[in-house]
Structure 1
Amino acid sequence: MRTCSRLGATPAGGLGCCGWARLGVGFGVVSVVSMGMLALAGAAPVPAQPPPERGIALGLFSADPHFSYRPLIDEIAATGASHVSVAWVWWQDDVAATLIRPVAGASATDDQVLDAMQYARRRGLTVTAFPIVRLLRRGPEEWRGRIRPACEDDWWATYQAFILRAAELAAHAKAERLAIGSELLSRESMRERWVETIDRVRLQAPDLSLLYSANWDHYDKVSFWDHVDIVGLTAYWEVGGANLDASEAALAWAWRGPKAQIVAFGRRLGRGIVLTEVGYPSLDGGACWPWDETRQAPVDLEEQRRAYAAFVRVWSGTPELQGVYFWNWFGFGGKLDGGYTPRNKPAQAVIERWFENGRPMRERIRP
């Protein structure tokens, strides 16, 4: 058994999944999945019932301001997804900065955000607008969860402006939901600030359902769950443990503890849970460090497939699970890609098989 040591964590909200923003290249539509790819996923167990929200996240992470995300949305719709989370990034310079802003080449334009959400709606997908803050410069162990602005008033003013702009775009696109924040651990105890932000969003866009996405190891510290409509959390538990070659059964077993905690948390709140980010980079050790796609490691499509299949095995038919969003569809995909995307990888077939079970019978694919 090969093992992995415990290193300092780079949380899922780090720059890893935004590495694509540095690429100024596009990529064409690739067929949904070949029959050969389906065969590769044949070892996965027959999936049971998915949650009501069968979701996939789409990061608007191209460096090209004219890049169209419509082909990727077509692919997402073809998986059997019912929901899509449209994620885009604004930036602050470092953990102490107080200005949050779009950065050319690293932030989607308003037109791209609008077009993606509107097109997804036309494809029959329920849309969550998912704005994210990231850091342009990071020291060791620094990420958006450890923001400590030089002036709280200034930071909250610019953060509210960012979220209100996102709410404006979401309302214009007739999206159903807005994430008012994601993995902002150092901010989550500031209840009055969040209540003020939420009230302003509701005043501006009263038809939007509001979600907050907590980090997988900090969701019980959020002080304002009673003010949002949807309880969201990311799902980057290190189910691989210290085993780089953990079997599907071992990965499923490792989910037992986290699942029990999540279910108990939802029951305590009297709310269903939405897992806003479930993802594994297709790297050797991806289930050991699911929050980090920047590691130097060989591509391992089979480990990613096992991790997806284990998740499906454990969470199928769980009534407390309201929704799941697989992170994230953006990326080249295919057998040489070590990133999060399941596009044209064996993991894609696992998603499709599971989502198919949740579709109305009249919509299911006929052999």
Structure 2
Amino acid sequence: MNAFKLLIVFLLLSFQSCKGQTEKIKGISFVASRESITHTHTNPLVAINANYAAIMPFGFIRDLSHPEILFNTNRQWFGETEAGVKQYSKVLSDQKIKVMLKPQIWVWHGLFTGNIAMKGEEHWKQLEDSYSKFILSYAELAKQINADIFCIGTELEQFIMNRPDYWKHLIVEIKKRYDGKLTYAANWDEFKRVPFWDAMDYIGVDAYFPVSDSRTPSLEACLEGWKQHKSEISNLSRKYGKLVLFTEFGYRSVDYAAKEPWNSDRGMTQVNLVGQRNATQALFEAFWEEDWFAGGFVWKWHHNHETAGGDNNTQFTPQNKPVEALIKSYFSKS
């Protein structure tokens, strides 16, 4: 091959590298259950053209200032454990669905993980030791199951802001155990302050941005509401030269779904399927065609598809609701 051809090949490879992947990540957040799964449970993912699933084992903390994380115990649901991760990933892989392993922390009573903060140096050290055991164990498991992406944490702003040196060292240790692509799932109001995006492969965002105050948000209102957020997201992508991945995105099928999309208040009981669909369509229209946008993971999808969701359901899942067909149509694109 002459020098000119070599130059052309080099330029093409460089261009492809800058553009990132050629196919969007069309992912769902696959909720852990009490039981193992079969192809019966994953066939609906194939039907909506999903090519990724996030598997989410859990660790538990007693309260926001408690330093010990309990995980992989016999008191947890099967899907929340290491054995469940292995079994789920095998069935998903059989269906040609790639895996993002996304270990998460649950604070008892559902308190927000972003507020986890210790009261003194001793407890901070204990939390660091405990989190390292938790996340490095799953980094090794990510390697074993050939996970395509490993998420090193989810919505842990105070932990990261207070202990940046620990996180820098932790990422080095993770990379010794897992050599695939890394991301961190930053909350929608946290992502601009994460100090280690340069060490990640994707800028991960849990995309619960407020985009409309309306009871039934219109497509046009949501698109308008996205403009400032989208500008900030794209600017960060350019700053670091990284693709943006929505590690979680979705809306509840309730009134005011796009006002505080993170809100899981059980008192929100008025079903609104139109608002959920409009808000979801606006997100797809705003981001799906952007070269710097890698794709994302719909929040959330239950294994028992036949009985999940439905027209009377007020929760996030799109299953058996009008928004499911919308997601399928976008997932049908490259």
- What corresponds to 1:176 in structure 2? 148
Candidates 93, 100, 103, aligned match of 2:62: 93
Q: 1:260 to 1:90 in 2, by over 3 A?
A: same
Equivalent residues, number: 301
- What corresponds to 1:25 in structure 2? none
Q: Identify the range of structure 1 (152-161 vs 303-312) with the bigger mean alpha-carbon deviation.
A: 303-312
The 8 Å contact of residues 134 and 144 in structure 1, kept in 2 or not, is answered as yes
The 8 Å contact of residues 51 and 319 in structure 1, kept in 2 or not, is answered as no
Bigger relative contact order (CA 8 A; separation at least 6): 1
Candidates 98, 104, 128, aligned match of 1:156: 128
Q: Take 1:213 and 1:246, find their aligned partners in 2: how far apart are those partners?
A: 26
The 8 Å contact of residues 299 and 337 in structure 1, kept in 2 or not, is answered as yes
Residue 237 of structure 1: how far off its partner (Å):
0.7
Query: Which letter does structure 1 place at the counterpart of 2:94?
Result: R
2:115 pairs with 1:146? yes
- What corresponds to 1:365 in structure 2? none
- What corresponds to 1:290 in structure 2? 261
- What corresponds to 1:220 in structure 2? 192
Deviations 1:271-328 (A, max 9, x none): 1111111110111222222112333221212211111111122223111101221111
Residue 137 of structure 1: how far off its partner (Å):
3.8
The 8 Å contact of residues 217 and 256 in structure 2, kept in 1 or not, is answered as no
The 8 Å contact of residues 283 and 338 in structure 1, kept in 2 or not, is answered as yes
2:321 pairs with 1:345? yes
Query: Which letter does structure 1 place at the counterpart of 2:315?
Result: G
Residue 200 of structure 1: how far off its partner (Å):
1.4
Candidates 71, 75, 90, aligned match of 1:118: 90
Candidates 262, 266, 282, aligned match of 1:310: 282
Residue 215 of structure 1: how far off its partner (Å):
0.9
Q: 1:295 to 1:223 in 2, by over 3 A?
A: same
Q: Identify the range of structure 1 (286-295 vs 84-93) with the bigger mean alpha-carbon deviation.
A: 286-295
Q: 1:268 to 1:278 in 2, by over 3 A?
A: same
Q: 1:178 to 1:74 in 2, by over 3 A?
A: same
Q: Take 2:38 and 2:289, find their aligned partners in 1: how far apart are those partners?
A: 32
- What corresponds to 2:222 in structure 1? 251
| Long gaps (5+) in structure 1 | 1-49, 359-367
Q: Higher helix proportion, which one?
A: 2
- What corresponds to 1:355 in structure 2? 331
Candidates 72, 75, 79, aligned match of 2:48: 79
2:176 pairs with 1:194? no
Residue 74 of structure 1: how far off its partner (Å):
2.2
Residue 113 of structure 1: how far off its partner (Å):
1.4
CA RMSD of aligned residues (A): 1.9
Residue 342 of structure 1: how far off its partner (Å):
0.5
Q: Take 1:357 and 1:234, find their aligned partners in 2: how far apart are those partners?
A: 22
